[in-house]
A and B are shown apart, each in its own frame.
Chain A
Amino acid sequence: MSSLRKIIVLLLVLLAFGALRLKFERQMLTEFRDAGLMREQNHLESRDRIDQTSSAVALGGLRTLVATFLNLRAHGYFERQAWNELQDTYETIVNLAPQTRYYWETGSWHMAYNAASYYLHESSRPPLRRKELWRSSILQGRYFLERGIGNNPRDWSLHASLGHMLRDPNKLPAMRDRDAALMAAHEAYDRSVELGCFSPMLNQRLSLYCLARVRGRESEALALARTLHEDPRHHKPTLLILLYVLEFDADPDQDAGALALRIFGDAKTAYEALAHHWRGNREGYPMDGVAQGLARMEGLLGIPPLQSILGQKLAPGFNPDDWFK
């Protein structure tokens, strides 16, 4: 057979076999992508961000390998406190390995915690600039984590991490709407429990702790607190305190002393718990009935008025303006 004829036959065979496999291959690709085993080809964005060699390696089906090397590079940026480069690197990393929880959590941690703390204490910039950088770092960390959840909606750990971030009193002042952030944290904890987190009881309580701080949701919080209180394993100091303040909020005319004794069991325990809550009001928990309860317990325990905790000056609440003076 002549060379030309041979080439023509060869091309025709390849075409015919190509046509035969095309439909099946496409179905397989769709099936694999739906199962999360592969994703659309690397976005142009990430191809631009990584060098040619890494791009070739990523193209060869080794995206997670490139991601691990970029993670090492990002650690270097963290050590040098090069926050912009670090953020860019994590954007690329999650583009390459979007199903790896660790990268979403670490990236958001660097932004919302490490970069934010850096701007909080850094003194070379003007206060207003630092404050804006601090706020935007926290918001970027939150947004990054929320994107991680969007990519991995069934990952309980990402939901719990979002809950931890949004309920943090050091982060809350950066949020534009405090109540909305706390509500989001409450929902995130609930979702983490639904998805089978390691410590469902703890996350149920954390969910309550967030809901109790949302203004206008007191009745919902009280219902949740009562439900959790039915299980003695939930009888932790913060839960008991919140049950107390929410019960008092629901009926302010009731006897604070009787309520405290009913919930805490004895005057000494009630006094210690209420006093601790009184001192720790920086976290923004409701304080309904705490002063009344303390006054009653002090009376029962015979604490002289001069030593009353109610006479002590309370620590001021969190105000970011004070941090950047």
Chain B
Amino acid sequence: MSESTPTPAFKASHASRMVTLSLHAFTQLVRMKVFYFLAVFAVIVIGSNFFDMAQHQGPESVGANVLRNIKSWSLGAMALFAVVISIVATALLLPRDIEDRTLYTVLAKPVPRIDYLVGRLMGVLLLVFVSLAVMDLLMVAALHLRTGMVMEMQEKMAVGRGWPEEAIQSLKQETLASGVNWQLQAAVLAIFLKVAVMAAICLSVSTFSTSTLFTTVVSFLIFFIGHFQADALDFYLKGVEAGTSTFSQYLALGFSLFIPNFQLFNVVDGLVQNQPITLLMVGKLVMMACYYVLLYTLLAWWIFSDKEV
């Protein structure tokens, strides 16, 4: 061959690079066998079916406790698993990429560092999303089955007690409302949003951290401290009226400004107790989560931009 055909220069877009990197991160994390925890989750969901308490009233109380148990235990387990997975997986990413030299290979190519960071973050979020989706499916299936069983038991008892048809229908409506509903999906979304913010924070910590352990510990600390942010702000605002010392007030204000407010995403409790949430509220939560994720990702990029690797 005398003539060589010039290889067309492949110019990947930011998005395609990020997608490639995120899929790589996802595969890397899946290979660490993280999905084994789903077996534990399944046990929790099944277990929550067996803790029905003595009921003290009429048909309306039959199984009411067990439906709440399924929701409460499942969403609780989802939140805990998701937070742990997101922090540990994010904290592992950079050190692991350095250890197996993937980072050098990636950055040696014309890959902007922001693409690398966002791609890795997206990989973790994809992992969390898939995990939450599977857990959500398990919860919905268990809840759906159990709601049907509870309704059957309630109807039998109501008919036995001579309840009129309209009362039985109202009872069924109320039990259905305690079963599978879109509010539960809002709760799962709130967990995902909280975890996404946490992953972004963890990513920015990992850009200047010296070890995985340090990143993990600091991230968990921020996670717990973030739940006091609203308290600090209350202290600052009420302190002005109560005459608290200026130093304490500014300390509380500084705390409120630096630390993200994780309380905002704690709508799960209200949703488990069948409190309604509007689409607008969900939209605001999404917006706030995007704000945090964007801020911490940009900070991570800024720290990582001139870091020598």
Residues of B within 8 A of A6 (CB): 303
Q: Determine if A35 and B72 form an interchain contact, defined as CB atoms under 8 angstroms apart.
A: no
Q: Which residues 54-101 of A have a CB within 8 angstroms of B?
A: 56-57, 59-65, 67-68, 71-72, 75, 78, 97, 99-100
Chain B contact residues: over half helix, strand or loop, or mixed?
helix
A14 in contact with B258 (CB, 8 Å): yes
Q: Tell me which residues across on chain A come within 8 A of B227, comparing CB atoms.
A: 59-61
Q: Mark interface residues in B55-91 (1 if CB within 8 Å of A CB, else 0).
A: 0110011001100110011011001100100000000
Q: Which of B215-256 contact A (CB under 8 A)?
A: 223-224, 227-228, 230-231, 233, 254, 256
Is B264 an interface residue, CB under 8 A from the partner? yes
Interface check A38, CB cutoff 8 A = yes
The secondary-structure label for the interface of chain A is helix
Within 8 A of B (CB), among A97-142: 97, 99-100, 102, 105-106, 109, 113
- In this assembly, does B276 line the interface, its C-beta being within 8 Å of a C-beta of chain A? yes
A307 at the interface (CB under 8 A from B): no
**Does B263 lie within 8 Å of A37, measured CB to CB?**
no
Contact B306 A37 (CB under 8 A): no
Q: Which residue on B lies nearest to A157, using beta carbons?
A: B60
Most chain A beta-carbon contacts within 10 A, residue among B57, B83, B303: B57
Whether A198 and B258, one on each chain, are in contact in the complex, defined by CB atoms closer than 8 angstroms, is no
Binary interface profile of B, 261-284, with partner A (CB < 8 Å = 1, else 0)?
A: 111111111111111111001001
* Shortest Cβ distance from A72 into B: residue: B51
Q: Is the CB of A64 within 8 A of B273?
A: yes
Q: Is A325 an interface residue (CB 8 A)?
A: no
Q: Tell whether B37 is near chain A: CB-to-CB under 8 Å.
A: no
Tell yes or no: B257 within 8 A of A by CB.
yes
Q: Residues 1-35 of chain A: 1 if any B CB is under 8 Å from the residue's CB, otherwise 0?
A: 10000100111011101110110111011011001
Which of B61, B64, B233, B275 is close to A35, meaning CB atoms less than 8 Å apart? B275
* CB nearest neighbor in A for B258: A14
Per the bound structure, the CA–CA distance linking A97 and B291 in Å amounts to: 30
Q: Please, which residues of chain A bring their CB within 8 A of the CB of B53? A: 71-72, 75, 106
A161 at the B interface (CB under 8 A): yes
- Whether the pair A102, B61 counts as a contact (CB closer than 8 A) is yes
- In the complex, are the beta carbons of B265 and A61 less than 8 A apart? yes
List of B residues within 8 angstroms of A35 by Cβ: 270, 275-278, 281
Known: A10-B303, A15-B257. A198 touches B163 (CB 8 A): yes
- From A22, A36, A157, A196, B257 is in contact (CB under 8 Å) with A22
A140 to B254, CA, bound (A): 44
Contact at B65–A56, with CB atoms within 8 Å? no
Q: How far is the CA of A68 from the CA of B57 in the complex (A)?
A: 19
Partner of B273, one of A15, A25, A75, A99: A99
Interface pair A61/B269, CB less than 8 Å apart: yes
Q: Which residues of the other chain, A, contact B271 by a CB distance below 8 angstroms?
A: 37
Contact with A along B25-57 (1 / 0, CB 8 A): 000000000000000000000000001011011
Interface presence of B171 (CB below 8 A) = yes
Distance in angstroms between the alpha carbons of A61 and B263 in the assembled complex: 7
A25 lies within 8 A of B288 (CB)? yes
Bound CA span A9–B298, Å:
13
Of A24, A41, A60, most B-chain CB atoms within 10 Å? A60
A312 within 8 A of B: no
Whether A100 and B273, one on each chain, are in contact in the complex, defined by CB atoms closer than 8 angstroms, is yes
Q: Complex Cα distance A22/B253, Å?
A: 10
Q: Closest CB-CB distance, A108 to chain B, in whole Å?
A: 10
Cα distance A223–B278 when bound, in Å? 44
| Distance between Cα atoms of A205 and B302 in the complex (Å) | 72
Which residues of B have CB within 8 Å of A24? 288
Residues of A within 8 A of B (CB): 1, 6, 9-11, 13-15, 17-19, 21-22, 24-26, 28-29, 31-32, 35-38, 41, 56-57, 59-65, 67-68, 71-72, 75, 78, 97, 99-100, 102, 105-106, 109, 113, 157, 161, 196, 198-199, 201
**What 10 A-B pairs come out closest when comparing CB atoms?**
A18-B257, A61-B266, A37-B270, A65-B76, A99-B273, A36-B275, A198-B167, A64-B272, A109-B56, A37-B267
Residues of B within 8 A of A (CB): 51, 53-54, 56-57, 60-61, 64-65, 68-69, 72-73, 75-76, 79-80, 83, 163-164, 167, 170-171, 174, 194, 223-224, 227-228, 230-231, 233, 254, 256-258, 261-278, 281, 284-285, 288, 291, 295, 299, 302-303, 306
With A9-B302, A57-B76, A105-B61 given, name 11 new contacts (CB 8 A): A21-B291, A29-B264, A32-B264, A37-B275, A63-B269, A97-B273, A102-B64, A113-B56, A157-B60, A198-B167, A201-B164
